[in-house]
Amino acid sequence: MAERAVNNPIGTGESLLFLTDEQLRRGIEAMFFAYRGFTADPDRILQNYEYGRAHHRAIHFINRTPGTTVNNLLSILGVTKQSLNRVLRSLIADGLVESRVGVQDKRERHLYLTETGAKLERELSEAQRNRMRAAYRNAGPEAVAGFRAVLEQMMDPEMLRHFQAGMDT
């Protein structure tokens, strides 16, 4: 087994993985450089609106789960409520997000995109999807499955929970 592994460092067959520090380092740098590309297009667009990445994240997840509460958004984004609040305040003031007091629990605020908010969301996600689509196409179908599998394994358990929660919506 050890011998086969040496001959097939990251073989595609039935061999086990034999991973050198060097190969792992390349994976790490791939993540670093790719994430830059991943955020580049939305970042460019956001400058025209005087918003930042934090606004993009809020808009994305409010769009994914309309009516989500501030608290739920907090645990998804992993920031403090004060930090998120500043972002939400500006989005609400600018009329991109609507905040409705909860019916059952009046402490909660349920968040929705307005038509303006949905329009920005589409502009941002279209740019990001175009890049993702191009990457998927050029890499091929098997690569996409592998990409998703490794990324899932890289998540912390709670992040994985949030990720999978978005599957059944």
DSSP codes of every residue in 21-59: HHHHHHHHHHHHHHHHHHHHHHHHHHHTTT--HHHHHHH
Residue (of 55, 22, 69, 74) closest to 124 by Cα position = 55
Q: Which does 119 bind (CB under 5 to 8 A by kind): DNA, its own copies, none?
A: none
Closest CB to its own copies among residues 16, 101:
16
Q: Which does 7 bind (CB under 5 to 8 A by kind): its own copies, DNA, none?
A: none
Closest CB to DNA among residues 84, 124:
84
Interacting residues with its own copies (CB under 8 A): 10-13, 15-17, 19, 21, 24-38, 40, 57, 60, 64, 78, 125, 128-129, 131-156, 159-160, 162-163, 166-167
Interacting residues with DNA (CB under 7 A): 50-55, 69-72, 74, 78-89, 99, 102, 104-109
The answer to whether 111 and 61 are in contact (CB under 8 A) is no
Q: Where are the alpha helices (DSSP H) in the chain?
A: 2-7, 21-47, 53-64, 70-77, 81-93, 115-139, 141-154, 157-165
Could you tell me the smallest distance in angstroms from the CB atom of residue 106 to its own copies? 31
Closest CB to its own copies among residues 17, 101:
17
